């Protein structure tokens, strides 16, 4: 099982220990059948013979026309020994493939996480649940625009939607091909795919118009597309492979969030838990086994890379962590890969904001003190570009907006259910960003609530892991659908309360410092005057 896999594009895709055991009851099954050859005394039609032998095992099985055509040849090639691949749909089992002989030893599926920036594909052995290999690549749509709104706009132009679909499916097909080659698996042997991603990405994958997602009243075309076939979107695996997309709840709480809740298990526990996934939007789910509430705030692209002047993705050359010496204000930084620094990725930027604050370089409203307009992190001589790597006021302002949106969303959600921050018993952080972000820095700037540290759990790529679990377990699929049904969705795009809180959450770590006792303590220890 791979621990951390960096694909050729060096994207971080998965962390140690994140695959969980699930009871094996996968989306597709392979069953080897020894059929009775037809005779004058038993001249049942071939397809009926197949269906009758599957019936006692699975109930009625639907055979699609292209497979009806293939049945006679498949049955006769290995003397009436065949292996049927059947796929679960909402309405019982359907035939996905029929191979001559016993091929039940080879059975593969794909779990796919479609991110706005990165697409990750896991090739899964359906017999064991093991991930055989992982491939990740840049979502081909990035060529049309880094941010999601540009792509939604483009989808509204002539052929735009088709182009968006083609590019994401193209990325997927490229990853799948790599996996198939590396693991010596034929495309036809892949009989099931589960895809997870935000609502817009799911729309693009299926060729659905996302126009209404960003228009009041902000609703998707569909939240639960159900069971489709791979050929319907041009995926180059078994054309009849079952394609299932994790259900979403609304325009800004998609299948990736449902996957996260599923992987956390918060929907099955007594304790009050909060799940947070911070990207362009901060999506969060609060609740426990009795209730679930969700919302999403537009966090802005500050942490997505490519927006801050020196911002970049978590690729080689990115400064991933920053510490500033309390005594001499000297900068210590770590870079991804053994190369000179080129820019700063999200976790580095969060560190900067926290360290600037703790060292009095900025004030509580994140403004540089003493007339300073920027801070030089890396002098030109040390950088890969030959220019200074600096953090400017605008970079800090962008990050403050993100933090403000997260704060405001969480507080609106908590108030909606009448609870306080301190009552959160478990705090789940999703995504690669959550994986590498320094928890102390995130708390110092107020991005995370100031909870006892043992309550904070990093889930890693819970979107991909949720897809894998649903691929392997019908029970997990039903759980995911149940989660989507149970969640009460608070639409914040039009919430005045959210806007008020957003405008009010301009301070580090929070307007009310008492919500952040450990940060207050830190500041006190440093003898800093609390100027809020």
**Dihedral of alpha carbons 444, 510, 425, 496, sign:** negative
Instruction: Note whether 159 binds its own copies by CB under 8 A.
Output: no
The nearest distance, CB 319 to its own copies, in angstroms, is 41
Site for its own copies (CB under 8 A): which residue of 9, 20, 23, 91? Answer: 91
60, 508 contact by CB (below 8 A):
no
Structure tokens at 97: 């493939």
Residue indicated by tokens 């006792």 = 517
Site for its own copies (CB under 8 A): which residue of 228, 378, 405, 470? Answer: 228
3-class SS letters over 368-407: ECCCCCEEEEECHHHCCCCCCEEEEHHHHHHHHHHHHHHH
Alpha carbon distance 458, 426 (integer Å): 11
Q: Tell me the window of 173-181, 216-224, 393-401, 421-429 that interacts with its own copies (CB under 8 A).
A: 216-224
Instruction: Note whether 158 binds its own copies by CB under 8 A.
Output: no
The nearest distance, CB 185 to its own copies, in angstroms, is 26
Long-range CB contacts (within 8 A, 24+) of 227-236: 227/87, 227/88, 227/89, 227/90, 230/193, 233/165, 233/169, 233/205, 233/206, 233/207, 234/165, 234/166, 234/169, 234/173, 235/169, 235/172, 235/173, 235/176, 235/193, 236/173, 236/176, 236/177, 236/187
Q: Compare residues 212 and 390 and give the one whose CB is closer to its own copies.
A: 212
CA angle 138, 404, 304 (to 5 degrees): 10
Site for its own copies (CB under 8 A): which residue of 207, 316, 416, 532? Answer: 207
Site for its own copies (CB under 8 A): which residue of 23, 156, 226, 422? Answer: 226
Q: Tell me the window of 43-51, 136-144, 351-359, 394-402 that interacts with its own copies (CB under 8 A).
A: 43-51
Alpha carbon distance 296, 282 (integer Å): 5
Site for its own copies (CB under 8 A): which residue of 35, 211, 417, 528? Answer: 211
Instruction: Note whether 474 binds its own copies by CB under 8 A.
Output: no
The nearest distance, CB 69 to its own copies, in angstroms, is 6
Q: Compare residues 192 and 318 and give the one whose CB is closer to its own copies.
A: 192
Alpha carbon distance 320, 350 (integer Å): 9
Instruction: Note whether 222 binds its own copies by CB under 8 A.
Output: yes
Instruction: Note whether 65 binds its own copies by CB under 8 A.
Output: yes
Structure tokens at 494: 């039009």
Residue 434 belongs to what H/E stretch?
A: helix 431-436
Residues 12-41 as x/- pattern, contact with its own copies by CB under 8 A: --------------------------xxx-
The nearest distance, CB 149 to its own copies, in angstroms, is 18
Structure tokens at 199: 């609502």
Instruction: Note whether 156 binds its own copies by CB under 8 A.
Output: no
Of the CA atoms within 13 Å of residue 332, those in its CB half-sphere come to 6
Q: With contacts defined by CB under 8 A, how many residues of the chain interact with its own copies?
A: 46
Of the CA atoms within 13 Å of residue 94, those in its CB half-sphere come to 18
The nearest distance, CB 196 to its own copies, in angstroms, is 17
43, 62 contact by CB (below 8 A):
no
- Which residues between 489 and 518 bind its own copies (CB under 8 A)? 491, 494
Q: Compare residues 220 and 279 and give the one whose CB is closer to its own copies.
A: 220
Q: Compare residues 205 and 472 and give the one whose CB is closer to its own copies.
A: 205
Instruction: Note whether 71 binds its own copies by CB under 8 A.
Output: yes
SS3 call for 459: strand
The nearest distance, CB 171 to its own copies, in angstroms, is 20
Q: Compare residues 233 and 445 and give the one whose CB is closer to its own copies.
A: 233
Q: Which of 273, 252, 274 is nearest to 489 (CA)?
A: 252
Instruction: Note whether 206 binds its own copies by CB under 8 A.
Output: yes
From edge to edge, which strands make up the β-sheet containing 61-62?
28-34, 81-89, 92-100, 61-62
Q: Name the burial class of residue 357, with classes exposed (0-12), middle (13-18) and buried (19+) by CB atoms within 10 angstroms of its CB.
A: buried
The nearest distance, CB 42 to its own copies, in angstroms, is 8
The nearest distance, CB 394 to its own copies, in angstroms, is 33
Separation of CA 518 from chain center: 30
Instruction: Note whether 45 binds its own copies by CB under 8 A.
Output: yes
Q: Compare residues 156 and 422 and give the one whose CB is closer to its own copies.
A: 156
- Which residues between 349 and 408 bind its own copies (CB under 8 A)? none
Q: Compare residues 365 and 500 and give the one whose CB is closer to its own copies.
A: 500
Q: Compare residues 207 and 532 and give the one whose CB is closer to its own copies.
A: 207
Q: Compare residues 63 and 400 and give the one whose CB is closer to its own copies.
A: 63
Q: Which of 257, 262, 206, 195 is nearest to 234 (CA)?
A: 206
Instruction: Note whether 62 binds its own copies by CB under 8 A.
Output: yes
User: Which residues of the chain form contacts with its own copies (CB under 8 A)?
Assistant: 38-40, 42-48, 60, 62-63, 65, 68-69, 71-73, 90-92, 206-209, 211-212, 216-226, 228, 232-233, 250-251, 491, 494
């Amino acid at each position: 099982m791979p621990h951390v896999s960096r694909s050729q594009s060096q994207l971080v895709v998965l962390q140690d220990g994140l695959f969980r055991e699930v009871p094996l009851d996968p989306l597709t099954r392979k069953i080897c059948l020894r059929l009775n050859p037809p005779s004058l005394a038993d001249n049942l039609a071939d397809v009926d013979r197949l269906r009758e032998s599957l019936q006692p095992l699975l109930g009625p099985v639907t055979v699609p026309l292209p497979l009806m055509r293939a049945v006679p040849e498949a049955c006769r090639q290995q003397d009436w020994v065949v292996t049927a691949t059947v796929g679960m749909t909402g309405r019982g089992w359907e035939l996905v493939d029929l191979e001559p002989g016993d091929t039940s030893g080879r059975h593969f599926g794909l779990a796919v996480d479609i991110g706005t920036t990165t697409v990750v594909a896991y090739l899964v052995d359906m017999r064991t649940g093991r991930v055989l290999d992982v491939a990740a690549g840049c979502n081909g749509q990035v060529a049309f625009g880094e941010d999601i709104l540009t792509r939604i706009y483009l989808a509204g132009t002539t052929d735009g939607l088709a182009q968006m679909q083609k590019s994401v499916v193209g990325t997927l097909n490229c990853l799948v091909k790599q996996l198939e080659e590396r693991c010596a698996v034929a495309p036809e042997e892949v009989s099931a795919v589960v895809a997870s991603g935000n609502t817009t990405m799911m729309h693009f994958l299926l060729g659905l118009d996302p126009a209404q997602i960003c228009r009041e009243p902000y609703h998707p075309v569909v939240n639960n597309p159900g069971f489709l076939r791979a050929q319907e979107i041009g995926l180059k695996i078994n054309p009849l492979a079952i394609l299932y997309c994790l259900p979403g709840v609304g325009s800004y709480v998609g299948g990736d969030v449902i996957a996260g809740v599923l992987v956390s298990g918060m929907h099955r526990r007594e304790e009050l838990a909060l799940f947070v996934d911070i990207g362009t939007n901060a999506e969060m789910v609060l609740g426990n086994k009795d209730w679930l509430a969700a919302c999403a705030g537009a966090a802005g692209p500050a942490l997505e890379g490519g927006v801050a002047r020196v911002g970049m993705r978590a690729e080689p050359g990115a400064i991933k962590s920053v510490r500033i010496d309390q005594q001499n204000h000297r900068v210590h930084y770590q870079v991804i890969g053994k190369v000179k620094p080129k820019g700063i990725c999200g976790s580095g930027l969060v560190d900067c904001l926290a360290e600037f604050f703790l060292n009095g370089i900025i004030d509580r409203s994140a403004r540089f003190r003493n007339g300073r307009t920027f801070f030089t992190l890396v002098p030109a001589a040390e950088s890969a570009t030959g220019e200074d790597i600096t953090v400017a006021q605008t970079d800090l302002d962008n990050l403050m907006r993100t933090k403000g949106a997260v704060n405001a969303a969480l507080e609106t959600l908590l108030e909606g259910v009448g609870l306080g921050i301190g009552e959160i018993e478990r705090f789940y952080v999703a995504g690669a960003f959550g994986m590498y972000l320094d928890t102390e820095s995130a708390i110092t700037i107020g991005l995370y609530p100031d909870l006892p540290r043992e309550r904070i759990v990093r889930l890693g790529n819970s979107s991909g892991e949720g897809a894998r679990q649903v691929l392997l377990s019908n029970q997990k699929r039903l759980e995911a659908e149940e989660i989507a049904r149970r969640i009460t969705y608070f639409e914040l795009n039009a919430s005045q309360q959210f806007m008020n809180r957003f405008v009010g959450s301009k301070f580090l770590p929070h307007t009310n410092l008492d919500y952040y006792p450990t940060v207050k303590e830190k500041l006190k220890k440093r003898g800093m005057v609390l100027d809020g």
